[in-house]
């Protein structure tokens, strides 16, 4: 009986310790019950003490029973807020961590995933796209070594284990790769006739710098010098779930499994441009990681606002390399609305211009943008989650996304119509009501018409075949393959009535045009859908699609609306389409 009593008291003591710190999180009303319980226990204790003095009861037995009763009631009240109050997790967290790093060293990533709480691929798992990327990733895979340090610290359902890890730091090889590339190029120039190295304008012939860089990577990275390896002391965190210990994939551990980078794929894509940046002038190819929730912050010094078209033209002229052989629809001879400004932004990866003009008496706000890489065309959802109940203004979403330029989306949360794709996943498949506009990894706009698909499986197949990143569903399609579409009945948008309109179009490769037609005192009826289709066509759009209109219709540049939003008040919405710079913030600081 004594052992049973001692065991019960030990469990109660452990339970009391496990719920310490929870009391402050308990609702106010429940705390009042606990306070009342305390007062009642104190009064009862005094009564017990009084009765024991009178020798009517035995003090120890009565006091013990009273204490156990009060503790039991306390635990009953607190348990819903404290979770498990007494638990001894099975298994050894140190063994789990040891097994995880063994699997990493053996390149058994499937087994390693089974020991974590995340299904996201590790950077070391990336499938290389070329020989140079394979050189980096092979060295990363081969470079892991580890040593377990001490025993784990276990606190309830949490544990931590110190591990010393050696890994190939991909970033550390950069300076040597750059230096060897320069040395290789110098050797090549000295050992070959000039006409085998340079063209008539003293530019390197095609392929020479690439060849020198390739040789440098294979010699430097393939050689794997000792100072390319980093030694980190990690505190690996674990949690006990589903009857077993699982490793928590925090940012520090992810970085180790990605060779000290945020993303191995992005690093490999940017490494070449970084290595050759001082060799000759070449276009730096930067990519915004697909999984990034926002783009790099644009350089505020590169935004401009003016009423002088020639100032803007000078900016356009400076963007000759970005534009290539393409021409803007914007030009200085446009009759801009008097008293309004032209807004612009230009860096090596994006040129964006917004302006206002009247077309056939309708008040139009226009935006034209040319980007360097498809990854700069993105979609932002409120709270970065499909179906989030939170709504925000387009300008707030734009600021969160670091957008250079943004346009309202389809306001998917307001209605249940159409096909919605976000982060390559089909999130909604109502197939009969609306045309759909898809954006793929090449930055191309693709369309399907209402009723085109029979079921969700056909939509998923289309998404996979066309490498679709996201899609919006409002419409209708205005222009396709360079032809204005015949718009008859359409379920959304009051297409044949005067209404504020918003549309996005594509002029050429990575070259886009957006337009809003808004209510003003001079044009109280807004615009008809046929009007905005014709205007987008006249500005050179080969493809165009109508977005949500009315008060939702909005263009945002540098976090502020540039069009006269209906009723002078931004609507709370669920999403935007935006364009970002691709220049990393660290590159701007350098």
C-alpha 205/C-alpha 219 separation (Å) is 23
What's the burial of 30, exposed, middle or buried (CB within 10 Å: 0-12/13-18/19+)?
middle
pLDDT digits (tens, 9 = 90+) for 123-163: 888 888 888 889 999 999 999 999 999 999 998 889 999 99
pLDDT digits (tens, 9 = 90+) for 492-540: 878 888 889 999 999 999 999 999 998 777 676 768 899 999 999 999 9
* 82-109 core/surface letters (b: 16 or more CB in 10 A; e: else): beebbeebeebbbebbebbbebbeeeeb
Q: How confident is the model at residue 281 (pLDDT cuts 50, 70, 90)?
A: very low
What pLDDT score does 69 carry? 65
C-alpha 523/C-alpha 498 separation (Å) is 10
Tell me, yes or no, if the pTM score tops 0.85. Answer: no
Nearest to 155 by CA among 245, 253, 72: 245
C-alpha 134/C-alpha 532 separation (Å) is 49
Ordered DSSP codes for 354-394: EEEEEETTEEEEEEEEEESSGGGEEEEEGGGSTT-S--EEH
3-state secondary structure 259-303: CCCCCHHHHHHHHHHHHHCCCCCCCCCCCCCCCCCCCCCCCHHHE
pLDDT digits (tens, 9 = 90+) for 175-216: 999 989 888 888 887 777 767 877 777 788 888 988 999 999
Q: How confident is the model at residue 590 (pLDDT cuts 50, 70, 90)?
A: very low
Helix (H) or strand (E) holding 99: helix 93-105
Token pair for 307:
């009423």
Q: Over the Cα atoms of the chain, what is R_g?
A: 32
Per the model's pLDDT, the better-predicted residue between 14 and 91 turns out to be 91
CB neighbourhood size of 293 (10 A): 12
pLDDT digits (tens, 9 = 90+) for 168-181: 999 898 899 998 98
CB neighbourhood size of 321 (10 A): 11
Helices (H), 158-200: 174-191
Given a cut of 70, is residue 58 above it in pLDDT?
Answer: no
pLDDT digits (tens, 9 = 90+) for 452-471: 999 999 999 999 999 999 99
């Amino acid at each position: 009986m004594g052992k049973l009593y001692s065991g019960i008291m030990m469990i109660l003591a452990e339970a009391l310790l496990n719920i310490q710190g929870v009391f402050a999180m308990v609702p106010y009303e429940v705390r009042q019950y606990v306070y009342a319980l305390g007062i009642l226990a104190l009064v009862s204790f005094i009564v017990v003490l009084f009765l024991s003095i009178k020798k009517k009861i035995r003090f120890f037995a009565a006091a013990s029973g009273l204490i156990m009763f009060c503790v039991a009631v306390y635990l009953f009240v607190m348990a819903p807020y404290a979770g498990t109050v007494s638990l001894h997790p099975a298994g050894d967290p140190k063994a789990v961590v040891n097994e995880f790093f063994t699997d990493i060293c053996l390149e058994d990533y499937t087994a390693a995933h089974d020991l974590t709480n995340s299904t996201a691929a590790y950077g070391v798992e990336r499938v290389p796209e070329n020989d140079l990327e394979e050189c980096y990733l092979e060295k990363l895979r081969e470079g892991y070594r580890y040593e377990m340090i001490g025993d784990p610290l276990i606190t309830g359902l949490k544990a931590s284990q110190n591990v010393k890890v050696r890994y190939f730091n991909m970033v550390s090889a950069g300076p040597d790769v750059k230096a060897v590339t320069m040395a290789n190029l110098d050797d090549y120039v000295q050992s070959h006739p000039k006409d085998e190295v340079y063209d008539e304008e003293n530019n390197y012939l095609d392929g020479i710098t690439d060849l020198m860089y390739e040789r440098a990577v294979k010699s430097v990275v393939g050689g794997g010098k000792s100072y390319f390896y980093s030694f980190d002391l990690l505190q690996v965190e674990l949690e006990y779930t589903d009857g077993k210990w699982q490793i928590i994939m925090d940012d520090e551990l992810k970085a180790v499994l990605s060779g000290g980078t945020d993303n191995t794929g992005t690093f490999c894509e940017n490494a070449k441009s970084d290595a050759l940046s001082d060799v000759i002038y070449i276009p730096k190819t930067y990519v915004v990681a697909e999984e990034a929730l926002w783009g790099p912050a644009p350089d505020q010094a590169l935004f401009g606002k003016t009423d002088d078209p020639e100032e803007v033209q000078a900016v356009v002229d400076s963007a000759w390399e970005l534009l290539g052989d393409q021409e803007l629809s914007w030009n200085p001879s446009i009759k801009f609305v008097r008293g309004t400004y032209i807004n612009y932004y230009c860096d090596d990866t994006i040129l964006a211009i917004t302006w206002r003009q009247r077309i056939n008496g309708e008040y139009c706000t226009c935006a034209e943008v040319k980007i360097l890489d498809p990854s700069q065309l993105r979609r932002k959802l409120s709270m970065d989650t499909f179906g989030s109940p939170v709504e925000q203004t387009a300008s707030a979403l734009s600021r969160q996304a670091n957008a250079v330029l943004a346009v309202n989306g389809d306001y998917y949360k307001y209605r249940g119509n159409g096909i919605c794709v976000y982060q390559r996943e089909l999130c909604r498949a109502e197939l009969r009501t609306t045309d759909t506009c898809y954006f793929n990894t090449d930055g191309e706009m693709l369309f399907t018409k209402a009723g085109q698909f029979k079921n969700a499986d056909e939509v998923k197949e289309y998404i996979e075949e066309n490498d679709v990143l996201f899609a919006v569903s409002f419409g209708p399609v205005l222009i396709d393959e360079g032809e204005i579409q015949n718009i008859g009945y359409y379920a959304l948008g009051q297409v044949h009535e005067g209404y504020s309109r918003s549309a996005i179009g594509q002029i050429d490769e990575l070259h886009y045009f957006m337009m809003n037609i808004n209510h003003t005192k001079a044009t109280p009826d807004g615009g008809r859908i046929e009007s905005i289709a014709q205007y987008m066509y006249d500005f050179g759009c080969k493809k165009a699609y109508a977005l949500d209109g009315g008060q939702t219709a909005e263009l945002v540049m540098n976090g502020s609306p540039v069009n006269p939003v209906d009723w002078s008040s931004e609507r709370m919405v669920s999403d935007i389409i935006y364009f970002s710079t691709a220049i990393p913030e660290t590159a701007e600081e350098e």
